[in-house]
Amino acid sequence: MKRSAAFLRIAREFRQQWLIRAIALVSLLLLANACATPIGVVRLDTQDVYRGLTASVLSTGRPSDWSVQVLQRRNLFAQFDQHPEAALAELHKTIQQSVSEDQLQDRLFALSELSFFHSENSGRQEYYGASAVYAYAFLFPESGTPPDPLDPRRRLAAELYNLAVTKGLTRPDQEELVIENKTASLPFGELKLEVTQEEQTKRFQK
């Protein structure tokens, strides 16, 4: 009997505490609802949603939300708008710092897309080369794991790489793609390109 009475007292106290907390929570929700603006729902069709999720420099001519977020986190958004090369140089410095694997992937992808965007708008081909280098480093990291197969940036990085290489090796008249041994200038150094004998033979046969 004593144990039963003690149990009932504990249960009664628990119910009282729960009731007090529930009333406080409901009051807080009502207050928040009174102060908040009405919430609306806008319906979009599948194509609009997909276009929004996959928007990038290749589809819209503007950097993707992924790259914009990297600029904003590093307080480089305004600088990139006014002085893109200075902003890219600052962002490049951060990949040499001790950062997590996810942060490095975020920055490499952003550097690839933003370099491509700048080259498209400035005509400076060396930024196509930079875009290709960053995209390759994103897709095939020297250490760590490659991006998740379901990461939508993976396909976009591959497309950036292919287009950046093509545009970076195209002559200024944009009529001939030149594949030859050369040293290409990059914003942060030089890239030595070598064509193997097998590749030269295939090119001659074509």
**How confident is residue 3, by pLDDT bands cut at 50, 70 and 90?**
very low
pLDDT at 75 over 80: yes
pLDDT at 26 over 90: no
Read off the pLDDT of residues 90-114 as tens digits, 9 standing for 90 and up. 999 999 887 899 999 999 999 999 9
User: What's the whole-number mean pLDDT along residues 195-203?
Assistant: 58
**Neighbouring residues of 64: CB distance < 8 A, sequence distance ≥ 6:** 55, 56, 57, 113, 156
Task: Quote the pLDDT of residue 156.
Answer: 96
Which among 153, 157, 163 has a CA at the least distance from the CA of 66?
153
**How confident is residue 197, by pLDDT bands cut at 50, 70 and 90?**
low
Task: Quote the pLDDT of residue 2.
Answer: 44
Read off the pLDDT of residues 7-22 as tens digits, 9 standing for 90 and up. 445 445 445 554 555 5
Total-model pTM: 0.71
Task: Quote the pLDDT of residue 83.
Answer: 96
**Neighbouring residues of 75: CB distance < 8 A, sequence distance ≥ 6:** none
Distance CA(206)–CA(188), nearest Å, equals 35
**Neighbouring residues of 161: CB distance < 8 A, sequence distance ≥ 6:** 112, 131, 132, 135, 136, 139
Which tokens belong to 159?
A: 């497309």
Residue 138 CA to its chain's centroid (Å)? 10
Handedness of CA 200, 167, 134, 137 (dihedral sign): negative
Task: Quote the pLDDT of residue 173.
Answer: 65
Read off the pLDDT of residues 36-70 as tens digits, 9 standing for 90 and up. 556 666 666 676 667 666 789 999 999 999 999 99
Domain boundaries, the chain: 1-35, 63-196
